[in-house]
């Protein structure tokens, strides 16, 4: 099986090369036999990549330590689940995993379009073939998971304990699923540019795949934040680390695209802009991988430096030049069909939304690449840190939040004063009320007050939209309120799913703003001693050291401290934090010791406990934090993901006419993507 | 005025605000990123460089780590990959889990007149952390990892310094 997998990798490489060659040739010469051969070759590529992946999984599960990859990432006492996830835990395996995902997507895409977009498909298939060829070549020549160690150790080195976390097991594949999905819109954009078929035809498929990418990036980024928070022990969830930034970049551009595409669908505007966004999302995904894998930028995410970085850089340059050339030579075909009619219109709000999203993306890119840029220009490496990103992105983020509320309320083309008054009265009141209440309650942080005021406003717009829609159905169809609400969402998934995403955004912004009120302290506690402090809400907490214990567990030695907590004199239970030394099957230590933080979660705030060290007779050195509203970051992310799923879910009843109702609610459902 | 022009003015306003924010905060938060060698050379040329906030990326010299009981302060020496300059570092704070002998670290702080680097942040990473091939017999590894009894030639995976 392992040998078969290794061979399959090489066969897949040849198949991908064949796919690319005959698809482009078939497209150019209009030979349907070649086109068909290209598509079959793509399916074959997928098949062999699946075999290659199965081979690696077999090697991992059967502990074949003669492979460097298996010996480096697993050990005999590693739980089976983590043995399987180590497939994408290391460099070589993650490259193969990437190719696997891309080939699966590609096969789905080609199959889904076997009767549609026929003029485009040869070039779509060809482009996907080229991207697959790149990933397979990088896997085979740059980071081959089938590389032999040259000897067979009795046991492997095991998995980094910090990666032994359910969040870390599923966070990377989600990001990959998101990154890789940007390749399909890119392939469609290339095909449309090459054939100059830049009408609306290619957009449905592009929108759908962009949504797929957006969905997985959202889930992946949220999981990454959660992992950093519960596992790394520094008390935060976002550090503006280059690797984090590089996952945010394609998220920002795909979000921008999902909004601007609506303008193109409704009004035929922004055609150049949309093509550029699609291409940028893909290039940023590749750039992100390059940053992650090459080690050119200092990051706490330490991946081994390897030749894979230069492979990515080369591919990035070629892809940028090729797509730049295609866009530049097709500018004429991309002329817009309409002009902006009024500043007070949904188009204008969406344009600003795009401007802000791309502005954020640009500043994040700038800050991330600054060390490289400064070295190139001045010969000195200069880095920027979190203060830079916060200074730029907090104001821009708040502007974006405001637009989240404004956009859906303004009419297309030109909004009347009457429209504005009717739509904005209630939400604006809601926002001001929230702001005033918090101010009265004693909140004085400027940014936080603005964030909560805007959050109240956006929440007001969302509730108002659901209320109006439900009421209309209730009146017109005589449906009960829950049924009306359900059908409202189900029949207009794109619109109401979008509102649910917006709701998730509000929740996340509220959580970000709450984090500004965090409080942290370093304390030393002898056994039995207590420490009393006040949390950001004004409650009095007491922490009592119940003692330090040392014990042995499955694959680790543990030193743990237990604290008893009371709030305003009332017991809140106990909280423990541990130092763990992982060991192999012969009780020899592997890796450095890791810290397991203790978190007392609640909707209001987390109490976050880190055991720093133990001195003398069970005296614990501790770091304690009150982190307000952190919970809501995870829930906000989940809400966004659910909203994304609702939009993404295939519309079963899309052809059914909605009698009389379509006039009340825009029949957005009719245009919701069907091709994929 | 055409709506298009109005939008362009609004857009420019947004972009110039963003650019202003970026430019102003870069000059406030940017710090040099140097190797121990470069830092030594810099202060030799320009003594005012003592006390300037910088980031230094280097490797922890094996055996130089002294931890204060309780783990709130740690002293160590960083050096270049070439091992030419050695700078003693004092870090007040909690060292990350990854911090140990021979890891690559990034410290942020100032070099004092006495030649000791006072660090306010400490990031540590280990090149062998995520990619971690087994060592062969005879090859030393700081963490005391398992060794095979099989007789095999030396591995190229071993750190140059170990």
What string of H, E and C letters represents the secondary structure of chain B? CCHHHHHHHHHHHHHHHHHHHHHHHHHHHCEEEECHHHHHHHHHHCHHHCCCCEEEEEEECCCCCEECCCCCEEEEEEECCCCCCEEEEEEECCCCCCCCCCCEEEEEEEECCCCCEEEEEEEEECCCCCCCCCCCCCCCCCCCCCCCCCCCCCCCCCCCCC
Quick check: B132 contacting A, CB < 8 Å?
A: yes
Tell me how close the Cα of A17 comes to any Cα of chain B, in angstroms.
30
Quick check: B71 contacting A, CB < 8 Å?
A: yes
| Predicted TM-score (pTM) above 0.95 | no
CA-to-CA separations, B37 to A284, A479, B41, B123, B124, in angstroms, rounded: 34, 76, 6, 19, 19
Q: What pLDDT, on a 0 to 100 scale, did the predictor assign at position A39?
A: 94
Q: What pLDDT, on a 0 to 100 scale, did the predictor assign at position A633?
A: 96
Q: Are residues B123 and A616, on separate chains, in Cβ contact within 8 Å?
A: no
User: Distance between CA A267 and CA A261 in Å, rounded?
Assistant: 10
The backbone torsions φ and ψ at residue A272, rounded to the nearest 5 degrees and listed phi first, read: -65, -45
CA-to-CA separations, A189 to A4, A29, A273, A541, in angstroms, rounded: 36, 20, 12, 58
Q: Contact, A576 vs A545, CB < 8 A?
A: no
Half-sphere exposure for A13 (CA within 13 Å, toward CB): 16
If you search the block for the tokens 């922004």, which residue do you land on? A270
Residues 94-123 of B with CB under 8 A from A: 94, 96-100, 104, 106, 123
Instruction: Give all strands (DSSP E) within A411-535, no chain letters.
Output: 519-525, 530-534
Q: Contact, A243 vs A301, CB < 8 A?
A: yes
CA-to-CA separations, A117 to A3, A42, A112, A114, A187, in angstroms, rounded: 39, 17, 10, 8, 13
Q: Are residues B131 and A610, on separate chains, in Cβ contact within 8 Å?
A: no
Residues of A with CB below 8 A from B52's CB? Answer: none
Q: What pLDDT, on a 0 to 100 scale, did the predictor assign at position B83?
A: 66
Residues 38-67 of B with CB under 8 A from A: 55, 57
Q: What pLDDT, on a 0 to 100 scale, did the predictor assign at position A603?
A: 94
Q: What pLDDT, on a 0 to 100 scale, did the predictor assign at position A580?
A: 87
Q: What pLDDT, on a 0 to 100 scale, did the predictor assign at position A337?
A: 74
Q: Beta strand A382-383 with B31-34: parallel, antiparallel or unpaired?
A: antiparallel
Low-confidence ranges of chain A (pLDDT < 70): 294-306, 651-676
User: Distance between CA A501 and CA A211 in Å, rounded?
Assistant: 12
Tell me how close the Cα of B139 comes to any Cα of chain A, in angstroms.
13
Quick check: B150 contacting A, CB < 8 Å?
A: yes
User: Distance between CA A95 and CA B131 in Å, rounded?
Assistant: 14
Residues of A with CB below 8 A from B11's CB? Answer: 351-352, 355
* Optimal mutation site among A338, A383, A608, A624, interface B, most CBs of chain B within 10 A: A383
Q: Which helix (H) or strand (E) holds A579?
A: strand A570-582
Residues of A with CB below 8 A from B155's CB? Answer: 150
User: Distance between CA B19 and CA B13 in Å, rounded?
Assistant: 10
| A355 → chain B, closest CA residue | B11
Q: Are residues B32 and A380, on separate chains, in Cβ contact within 8 Å?
A: yes
Q: What pLDDT, on a 0 to 100 scale, did the predictor assign at position A199?
A: 75
3 state SS for A468-479: HHHHHHHHHHCC
User: Token pair for residue A637?
Assistant: 């992310």
Q: Are residues A589 and B100, on separate chains, in Cβ contact within 8 Å?
A: no
User: Distance between CA B98 and CA B78 in Å, rounded?
Assistant: 15
Residues of A with CB below 8 A from B32's CB? Answer: 380-382
Q: What pLDDT, on a 0 to 100 scale, did the predictor assign at position A297?
A: 67
User: Distance between CA A544 and CA A554 in Å, rounded?
Assistant: 29
Which residues 6+ apart lie within 8 Å of B108 measured at CB? B31, B53, B54, B55, B56, B119, B120, B121, B122
Closest CB from B3, B29, B145 relative to A385: B29
Strand partners, B122: B107
Closest CB from A300, A305, A348 relative to B7: A348
* Optimal mutation site among B2, B17, B23, B29, interface A, most CBs of chain A within 10 A: B29
User: Token pair for residue A40?
Assistant: 């079959």
| B67 → chain A, closest CA residue | A613
Model pLDDT for residues A401-452, shown as the tens digit of each residue: 999 999 888 888 887 888 888 889 999 999 999 999 999 998 889 999 999 9
Q: What pLDDT, on a 0 to 100 scale, did the predictor assign at position A241?
A: 85
| A620 → chain B, closest CA residue | B70
Closest CB from B6, B26, B70 relative to A343: B6
Q: Contact, A224 vs A244, CB < 8 A?
A: yes
Give the length of chain B: 162
Q: Which helix (H) or strand (E) holds A346?
A: helix A346-378
Strand partners, B31: A383
Residues of A with CB below 8 A from B152's CB? Answer: 150-151
Residues of B with CB below 8 A from A151's CB? Answer: 136, 148, 150, 152
Q: What pLDDT, on a 0 to 100 scale, did the predictor assign at position A584?
A: 74
Q: In terms of C-beta density within 10 A (0-12 exposed, 13-18 middle, 19 or more buried), how is residue A134 classed? A: buried
Residues of B with CB below 8 A from A589's CB? Answer: 143-144
User: Distance between CA A485 and CA A502 in Å, rounded?
Assistant: 17
Q: Contact, A452 vs A513, CB < 8 A?
A: yes
Tell me how close the Cα of B113 comes to any Cα of chain A, in angstroms.
23
Tell me how close the Cα of B81 comes to any Cα of chain A, in angstroms.
15
Closest CB from B18, B132, B152 relative to A359: B18
Q: Contact, A374 vs B26, CB < 8 A?
A: no
Give the length of chain A: 676
Q: Are residues A522 and B72, on separate chains, in Cβ contact within 8 Å?
A: yes
3 state SS for A6-49: HHHHHHHHHHHHHHHHHHHHHHHHCCHHHHHHHHHHHHHHHHHH
Q: What is the DSSP string of A43-99?
A: HHHHHHHHHHHHHHHHHHHTT-TTBHHHHHH--TTS-HHHHHHTTTTSHHHHHHHHH
User: Distance between CA B155 and CA B153 in Å, rounded?
Assistant: 6
Q: In terms of C-beta density within 10 A (0-12 exposed, 13-18 middle, 19 or more buried), how is residue B66 classed? A: exposed
Q: In terms of C-beta density within 10 A (0-12 exposed, 13-18 middle, 19 or more buried), how is residue B94 classed? A: buried
* Optimal mutation site among B24, B26, B93, interface A, most CBs of chain A within 10 A: B26
Q: Contact, B98 vs B129, CB < 8 A?
A: yes
The backbone torsions φ and ψ at residue B154, rounded to the nearest 5 degrees and listed phi first, read: -60, 150
User: Distance between CA A279 and CA A322 in Å, rounded?
Assistant: 11
Would you say the ipTM is above 0.90?
Answer: no
User: Distance between CA A606 and CA A166 in Å, rounded?
Assistant: 20
B1 pLDDT tier (thresholds 50, 70, 90) = low
Minimum mean pLDDT range among A118-122, A434-438, B57-61, B79-83 = B79-83
Tell me how close the Cα of B114 comes to any Cα of chain A, in angstroms.
25
Which residues 6+ apart lie within 8 Å of A128 measured at CB? A19, A42, A102, A106, A109, A110, A183, A184, A187
B134 pLDDT tier (thresholds 50, 70, 90) = low
Q: Are residues A382 and B24, on separate chains, in Cβ contact within 8 Å?
A: no
Q: Contact, A193 vs A330, CB < 8 A?
A: yes
Residues of B with CB below 8 A from A68's CB? Answer: 133
Q: Which helix (H) or strand (E) holds A129?
A: helix A121-137
Tell me how close the Cα of A352 comes to any Cα of chain B, in angstroms.
7
Q: Are residues A592 and B99, on separate chains, in Cβ contact within 8 Å?
A: yes
């Amino acid at each position: 099986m392992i040998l078969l997998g290794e061979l399959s990798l090489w066969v897949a490489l040849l198949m991908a090369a064949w796919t690319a060659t005959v698809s482009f040739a078939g497209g150019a010469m209009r030979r349907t036999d070649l086109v068909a051969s290209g598509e079959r070759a793509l399916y074959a590529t997928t098949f062999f990549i699946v075999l290659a992946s199965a081979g690696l999984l077999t090697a991992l599960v059967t502990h074949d330590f003669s492979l460097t990859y298996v010996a480096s990432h697993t050990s005999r006492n590693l739980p089976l689940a983590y043995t399987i996830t180590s497939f994408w835990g290391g460099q070589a395996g993650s490259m193969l995993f990437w190719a696997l995902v891309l080939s699966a997507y590609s096969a789905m895409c080609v199959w889904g379009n076997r009767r549609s977009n026929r003029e485009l498909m040869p070039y779509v298939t060809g482009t996907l073939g080229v991207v697959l060829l790149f990933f397979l070549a990088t896997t085979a020549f740059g980071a081959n998971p089938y590389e032999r160690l040259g000897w067979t150790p009795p046991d492997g080195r095991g998995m980094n304990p910090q990666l032994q976390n359910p969040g870390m097991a599923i966070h990377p594949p989600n990001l990959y699923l998101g990154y890789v999905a940007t390749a399909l819109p890119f392939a469609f954009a290339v095909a449309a540019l090459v054939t100059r078929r830049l009408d609306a035809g290619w957009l449905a498929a592009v929108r759908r795949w962009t949504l797929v990418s957006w969905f997985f990036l959202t889930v992946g980024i949220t999981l990454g934040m959660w992992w950093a928070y519960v596992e790394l022990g520094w008390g935060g969830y976002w550090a503006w680390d280059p690797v984090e930034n590089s996952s945010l970049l394609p998220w920002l551009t795909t979000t921008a695209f999902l909004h601007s595409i609506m303008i193109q669908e409704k009004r035929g505007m922004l055609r150049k802009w949309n093509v550029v966004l699609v291409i940028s999302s893909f290039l940023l995904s590749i750039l992100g991988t390059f940053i992650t894998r090459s080690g050119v930028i200092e990051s706490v995410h330490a991946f081994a430096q390897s030749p894979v970085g230069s492979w990515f850089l080369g591919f990035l340059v070629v892809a940028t030049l090729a797509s730049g050339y295609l866009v530049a030579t097709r500018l004429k075909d991309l002329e817009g069909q309409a002009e902006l009619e009024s500043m007070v219109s949904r188009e204008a709000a969406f344009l600003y939304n795009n401007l802000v999203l791309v502005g954020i993306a640009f500043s994040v890119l700038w800050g991330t690449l600054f060390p490289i840029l400064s070295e190139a220009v001045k010969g000195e490496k200069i880095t920027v840190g979190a203060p830079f990103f916060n200074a730029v992105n907090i104001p821009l983020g708040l502007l974006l939040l405001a637009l989240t509320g404004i956009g859906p309320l303004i009419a297309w083309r030109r909004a009347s004063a009457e429209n504005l008054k009717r739509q904005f009265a209630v939400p604006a009141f809601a926002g001001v009320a929230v702001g005033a209440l918090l101010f009265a309650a004693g909140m004085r942080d400027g940014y936080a007050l603005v964030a909560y005021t805007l959050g109240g406003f956006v929440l007001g717009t969302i509730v108002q939209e659901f209320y109006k829609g439900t009421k209309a159905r209730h009146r017109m169809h005589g449906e009960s309120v829950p049924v009306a609400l359900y059908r409202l969402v189900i029949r207009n998934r794109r619109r109401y799913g979008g509102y649910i995403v917006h709701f998730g955004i509000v929740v996340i912004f509220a959580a970000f703003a709450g984090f500004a009120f965090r409080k942290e302290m370093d304390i030393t506690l002898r056994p039995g001693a207590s420490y009393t402090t006040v949390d950001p809400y004004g409650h009095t907490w007491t922490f009592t050291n119940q003692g330090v214990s040392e014990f042995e567990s499955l694959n680790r030695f543990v030193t743990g401290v237990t604290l008893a907590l009371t709030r305003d004199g009332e017991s809140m239970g106990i909280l423990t934090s541990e130092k763990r030394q992982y060991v192999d099957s012969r009780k020899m230590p592997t890796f450095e010791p890791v810290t397991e933080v203790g978190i007392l979660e609640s909707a209001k705030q987390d109490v976050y406990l880190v055991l720093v060290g133990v001195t003398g007779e069970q005296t614990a050195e501790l770091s304690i934090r009150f982190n307000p509203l952190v919970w809501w970051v995870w829930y906000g992310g989940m809400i966004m993901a659910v909203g994304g799923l609702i939009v993404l879910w295939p519309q079963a009843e899309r052809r059914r006419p909605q009698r009389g109702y379509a006039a009340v609610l825009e029949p957005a459902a009719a245009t919701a993507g069907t091709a994929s | 005025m055409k709506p298009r022009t109005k939008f362009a003015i609004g857009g420019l306003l947004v972009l110039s605000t963003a650019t202003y924010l970026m430019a102003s905060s870069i000059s406030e938060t940017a710090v040099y990123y140097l190797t121990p060698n470069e830092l030594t050379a810099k202060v030799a040329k320009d003594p005012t460089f003592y006390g300037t906030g910088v980031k230094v990326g280097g490797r922890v010299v094996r055996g130089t780590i002294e931890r204060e009981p309780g783990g709130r302060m740690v002293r160590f020496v960083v050096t270049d990959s070439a091992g030419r300059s050695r700078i003693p570092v004092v870090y007040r704070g909690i060292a990350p889990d990854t911090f140990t002998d021979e890891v690559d670290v990034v410290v942020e702080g100032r070099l004092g007149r006495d030649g000791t680097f006072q660090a306010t942040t400490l990031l540590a990473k280990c090149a062998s952390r995520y990619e971690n091939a087994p060592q062969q017999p005879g090859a030393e590894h700081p963490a005391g990892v398992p060794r095979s009894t099989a007789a095999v030639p030396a591995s190229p995976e071993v750190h140059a310094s170990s």
